Amino acid sequence: MRIEGKEYRTIWFENNAVKIIDQTKLPHQFIIKDLKTVKDAIKAIKVMEVRGAPLIGGTAAYGMALAVQENNDTEFIKKSAEELIQSRPTAINLKWAVDRMMKKLSGINSDQILDIALNEAKEICAEDEKFCENIGINGLKIIEEIYIKKKGTINILTHCNAGWLATINWGTATSPIYHAHKKGIPVHVWVDETRPRNQGANLTSYELNEEEIPNTIIADNTGGILMQRGEVDMCIVGTDRTLSNGDVCNKIGTYLKALAAYDNNVPFYVALPSSTIDWEIKEGKDIPIEERKSEELSHVEGVDENNKIKKVLIYPKKSKAMNLAFDVTPAKYVTNLITEKGICEASYNGLKELFKK
């Protein structure tokens, strides 16, 4: 998608380095950063220069290629794989991508191992892009149906950033929106600010602006009354991990919006590539929920009146804060899942029909 009129992907390989957009600097600065070693890739995931389940997966895949480029000794590759998997606990794609890379590389000791690794990472990213495009094509049908009835602008609420910046291209939750916009359906997006880290404001609103899609940032507290007032036609969010029973683990606060949507008969969709499905964990309460540093809450970065980036403490000095990164939305509050293979019920049967034939 576009930034300042130019087409980008979120990750690519060039001159022996993996190139990423440093997402901790957005929206105030647009900086392309080089990752040269697997340690760089692990750090980029940990400090969230890259984030979003699919992009974490893509970065982990390229991280494995960087490990091979550094040292193609089997032990080093194995250790790198383990470290990559540990870098963020909640995103399921991370493990999926690393496992897939390990499978591809296992038993290969030839000169071609780097090429094989790079090709596999590129293939993982290309597949994700195709998945996201298909999510858009499938989700577009839902928006079209609402548009046929409403005839006016479709108001869509989203939480956090499940946009193209969270994937390789198109995004998950945003892909149906981009597809609708390209087809000429008038859309307006309510963008949840998404505390902490404000990824809705910093990333989703930013990328929608760059694609010239009308959008309005709101506090995370606001979605409820907008739904009560009939100002939301549908919600679409992404997910970091979808259980086979349809429970959805996503950015903290998703659950509250799902409750409000349910209470006001607003359809609530979750968009996901099948790589985020966890067929193993059976119940939402068993998903490991990452607790991140409280500084992400107590300190905020922005630009001051001189256009300088400043970090400020916004809490009382004596106060403690606690920063859980995800919550779990029970399947019963999810209208449907939008996947690359089609739309299905948020349930074992729904997912099985599409993915376990």
What is the set of active-site residues? 240
Assigned token pair, 53: 């389940």
At 294, which amino acid appears? S
Nearer to a second copy, 245 or 274 (CB): 245
Return the ∠ at Cα 22 (arms to 64 and 131), rounded to 5°: 60
Site residues for a second copy per CB under 8 A: 27, 191, 193-196, 198, 201-202, 205-206, 209, 215-226, 228-229, 251-253, 255-257, 259-260, 263, 284-285, 289, 297-305, 310-324, 326-328
- How far apart are the C-alpha atoms of 296 and 355, rounded to whole Å? 37
- The partner residues of 241 in beta bridges, in order of sequence, read 249
- How far apart are the C-alpha atoms of 269 and 334, rounded to whole Å? 6
Q: What is the DSSP letter of 316?
A: -
For the bound state, the minimum distance from the C-beta of residue 29 to a second copy, rounded and expressed in Å, comes to 11
Nearer to a second copy, 176 or 284 (CB): 284
3-state secondary structure of 184: coil
Angle (deg, nearest 10), helices 174-182 and 113-150 = 60
Asked if 8 contacts 125 with a C-beta cutoff of 8 angstroms, the reply is no
Nearer to a second copy, 332 or 352 (CB): 332
For the bound state, the minimum distance from the C-beta of residue 222 to a second copy, rounded and expressed in Å, comes to 6
Q: What is the DSSP letter of 202?
A: I
Nearer to a second copy, 200 or 350 (CB): 200
Integer CA distances (angstroms), 237 to 191, 274, 323, in order:
11, 15, 20
Nearer to a second copy, 113 or 259 (CB): 259
121-131 burial by CB neighbour count: b if 16+ within 10 A, else e?
bbebbebbbeb
For the bound state, the minimum distance from the C-beta of residue 231 to a second copy, rounded and expressed in Å, comes to 10
Nearer to a second copy, 64 or 260 (CB): 260
Q: How many CB atoms lie within 10 A of CB 288?
A: 11
- How far apart are the C-alpha atoms of 66 and 154, rounded to whole Å? 44
